[in-house]
Amino acid sequence: MSDRLSTTFAALADPTRRAILARLALGETSVQKLAEPFAISLPAISKHLKVLEHAGLITRGRDAQMRPCKIDAAGFIGVEHWLEEYRKLWGQSMDKLESHLEVMKAQQAVRPAPKKKSRSVKRQGEGNARKD
């Protein structure tokens, strides 16, 4: 997969990782804190962080035995720049489409309480990744 952009997009193609980024958008924090909201193991989180770091989406420091993670613009810039090319393709209509998206997101946000889900749903539910 080699190239940087592919690596970055691949990193973003996972709801858990996007949720981590969303959390980091609020500020630097430790791996443990990052892991809290998820129903997956710490090593799994650690792997996600490695992927994000490798994609240039986060950086990691060191504070005692903690490795605080911080969101990093670099990876985002790559995507931003790539998008640039296409943005001009639908110039005007973009606004309309964006507000349409807005509506869809709103609908999704207010959808009624889920019906009884039963069935041991241990794996963190795919659709629940917040904030992406």
Element (H, E) at 71: strand 69-71
Asked if 79 interacts with a second copy (CB under 8 A), we say: yes
Which tokens go with 17? 């990782």
Alpha carbons 48 and 89: distance in angstroms, whole number: 34
Examine residue 19 and tell whether it contacts a second copy (CB under 8 A): no
Question: Sign of dihedral through CA atoms 54, 55, 60, 66?
Answer: negative
* Residue 39 touching a second copy (CB under 8 A): no
Which of a second copy, DNA, none sits in contact with 43, Cβ below 5 to 8 A by type?
A: DNA
Nearer to DNA, 41 or 94 (CB): 41
Q: Which amino acid is at 92?
A: Q
56: nearest Cα among 15, 12, 106: 12
Residue 88 interacting with DNA (CB under 7 A): no
Q: Does 42 bind a second copy (CB under 8 A)?
A: no
For 20, phi then psi, to 5°, come to -60, -45
Choose between 3 and 63: whose C-beta lies nearer to a second copy.
3
Q: Cβ 91 to DNA, closest distance in Å?
A: 28
Q: CA 100, CA 129: separation in Å to the nearest integer?
A: 22
By CB under 7 A, the residues from 22 to 81 that bind DNA are 30-33, 39-51, 60, 62, 64-68
Q: Which residues bind DNA (CB under 7 A)?
A: 1, 10, 13-14, 16, 30-33, 39-51, 60, 62, 64-68, 123-124, 129-130, 132
